[in-house]
Structure 1
Amino acid sequence: MAVVKKTKASDLHSLCKKLVALLKKHYKPASHKKDKAVLETMLYAVCLENATNEQADAAFERLHESFHDYNEIRVSTFAELAECFEGMSEPDARAARVRSILQYVFEINFDFDFEPLRRKTMELAEKQLQKIRFLSSFIQLYTLQKSLGAHMVPVDDRLRDTAVWLGLAPPHSSTVEVAEFLKSAVMKADTAIFCEYGRCLALDDRLTQIFAKTKPPEEGFDLDDMLTRVEAVLRTAKKAKAAPAAKKPAASKSKAAAKPVAKSAAKAKAKPKPSTAKKKKPR
């Protein structure tokens, strides 16, 4: 049995490449070719955490359309900002993160330019991001990966559950710990594409309950059968999507239709017939 802690880095690299090749047959992630500014990248990460690309795009668009500019967002209430994340997980927490990011950037620069972060060393950039209140590890790692080109794997709750199920991280690992395991398992050149397809798998609504609720063995899931297990759940998900909705039996319809007829017949039978007898005229 192969577990992640005892597997060579080269074997993990090869296995992750095969996983991506398999996922490419089933998913087409939305691509964002245009690079965002550092501040926009951070705000988009708030929208993307535990959400699909489509959900994140919609929330990011609502955030910009609902307010005049970043300063208006900065001084808005949590309740007002949370409306932009309606229907998503933890809307209040997302609102708090958006406002704290904008407040921090404005207080150090008196504007909303955070591009100087790109020119910092990795260590200094990490330290600066850690000063921002309410910022999750996912947002920090996503910003470092996208804005500084760092070898980082941003991990949210959904990707953590999936990585554990795949066997790429030990059971009961935190998002920060899983990010470290995946960083070792995926080569820097493959990080972006692994994240794209890994998130597609992790956020597939047909599979999220499997990843979250399947109890892992004490030593973790076996890496030797990882690809086989992925193929199996994808086949199951495909069948579930293709299965037509069950139709009600025709007999029940005919019975239901027969009831009003029977009632009508009973009423007709009970209805008294008009009398044909002639009334006598009074003398």
Structure 2
Amino acid sequence: MATQSKAQYLTDIHTILKKRYKPKAESTSTRLTVLEAVVFGICHEDTSREQATQALARFKDDFFDWNEVRVSSLEEIQAALVGFPNADDRAYRVRRFLRQLFEKTYSFTLEALAKKPLKESVKVLQEYEVLASDYVLATVIQGSLGGHAIPVDESSRRALERLGVVDPGTDAATTRALLERAVPKNRGVEFADLLEELAHDTCVEGIPDCPRCDLRKVCPTALHPPKAASIVAKPAKDETKAVKGSTAKSAPAEPTPALDPAATKPAKGKPGRSK
């Protein structure tokens, strides 16, 4: 499929999905801080925007500040991720990022990056382990740094593969680069949200629900369905390059951070505390 026809194909997909799922206006207007975008990206990967938004809200409501999250146990952090797949790994990655951030900056802000050139900001972000995830990095670029990025997780990559947009096994970074060339920046957030809706509605893992999908008249998988026995989930090439601990059943241990005067957790329910 030529680049021009692929761009038109993605435009057609966008139009059909927009009629089906009615995109939410607020998802295109909310700017997160860089720190929030990192945490949001960790929570959002292979889940829904609504789930990730709720988790971010719980972190803000249930903890005194990000320093309290940094010094909390993984079990306490997992409480904000109730109902999430791989909650133990996500909790580890959130805490590991906060600990690395504090060790590097002695603070919990990266807002200075929003004023730097995008390439320079990305270079700084890649010093953090969790930003080895292309999905999290793209989330920060899109949600905080004002760049053109379309985050691609395994769920959305699976849908794009079935639609014939990418070849089987194409990694997330390559898929993202293709989308960013074909989908204009002003439609990027909306396209990503619509693709997510598709991936969690009909283009699910295992056998897709093609008869109920509005793309069935243009999707190669719906037009020429494979035999059930041949439908096997194929991991993307870069899955093995995931952030440390991302495939483990339990979160790995990490170095104990040096204590600082602010590290003592404030008592829950202390009168008059402010966020």
Partner of residue 66, structure 1:
62
Partner of residue 16, structure 1:
10
Partner of residue 100, structure 2:
104
Partner of residue 217, structure 1:
none
Residue 40 (structure 2) pairs with residue 51 (structure 1): no
Structure 1, 68-77 or 36-45: larger mean CA deviation: 36-45
1:13 partner letter: A
2:217 partner letter: T
Give the SS at the match of 1:228: coil
Note the C-alpha offset of 1:210.
Answer: 5.0
User: Does structure 2 retain, via aligned residues, the 8 Å contact 1:141–1:153?
Assistant: yes
2:43 partner letter: C
User: Does structure 2 retain, via aligned residues, the 8 Å contact 1:165–1:211?
Assistant: no
| 1:110-259 superposed matches below 5 A | 110-135=106-131, 136-204=133-201, 206-209=202-205, 228-230=217-219
User: Does structure 2 retain, via aligned residues, the 8 Å contact 1:138–1:156?
Assistant: yes
RMSD of aligned Cα (Å): 2.5
2:149 partner letter: M
- The 1:230/1:28 distance shift into structure 2, 3 A limit, reads farther
Gap runs ≥5 in structure 1: 215-225, 234-283
Partner of residue 268, structure 1:
none
Give distance in 2, aligned partners of 1:93 and 1:125.
26
Partner of residue 218, structure 1:
none
Note the C-alpha offset of 1:137.
Answer: 1.2
Give distance in 2, aligned partners of 1:196 and 1:54.
11
Task: Kindly provide the CA deviation profile for residues 219-269 of structure 1, in whole angstroms up to 9, marking residues without a partner as x.
Answer: xxxxxxx76245996xxxxxxxxxxxxxxxxxxxxxxxxxxxxxxxxxxxx
> Of the two structures, which has the highest relative contact order with CA contacts closer than 8 Å and spacing of 6 or more?
2
Give distance in 1, aligned partners of 2:116 and 2:97.
18
Give distance in 2, aligned partners of 1:158 and 1:67.
30
Q: Choose the corresponding residue for 1:35, options 24, 28, 31.
A: 31
Residue 80 (structure 2) pairs with residue 80 (structure 1): no
Q: TM-score, normalised by structure 1?
A: 0.69
Give distance in 1, aligned partners of 2:207 and 2:197.
13
Give distance in 2, aligned partners of 1:88 and 1:130.
25
User: Does structure 2 retain, via aligned residues, the 8 Å contact 1:161–1:211?
Assistant: no
Give distance in 1, aligned partners of 2:200 and 2:92.
23
1:159 partner letter: S
Give the SS at the match of 1:23: helix
Note the C-alpha offset of 1:12.
Answer: 2.3
- The 1:195/1:211 distance shift into structure 2, 3 A limit, reads farther
Which aligned runs of 4 or more in structure 1 are off by greater than 3 angstroms?
210-214, 229-233
Give the SS at the match of 2:72: coil
Gap runs ≥5 in structure 2: 223-275
Note the C-alpha offset of 1:89.
Answer: 1.4
Partner of residue 245, structure 1:
none
Give distance in 1, aligned partners of 2:59 and 2:208.
30
Note the C-alpha offset of 1:34.
Answer: 3.0
Q: What is the aligned length? A: 215
Bigger Rg, structure 1 or 2? 1
Structure 1, 21-30 or 151-160: larger mean CA deviation: 21-30
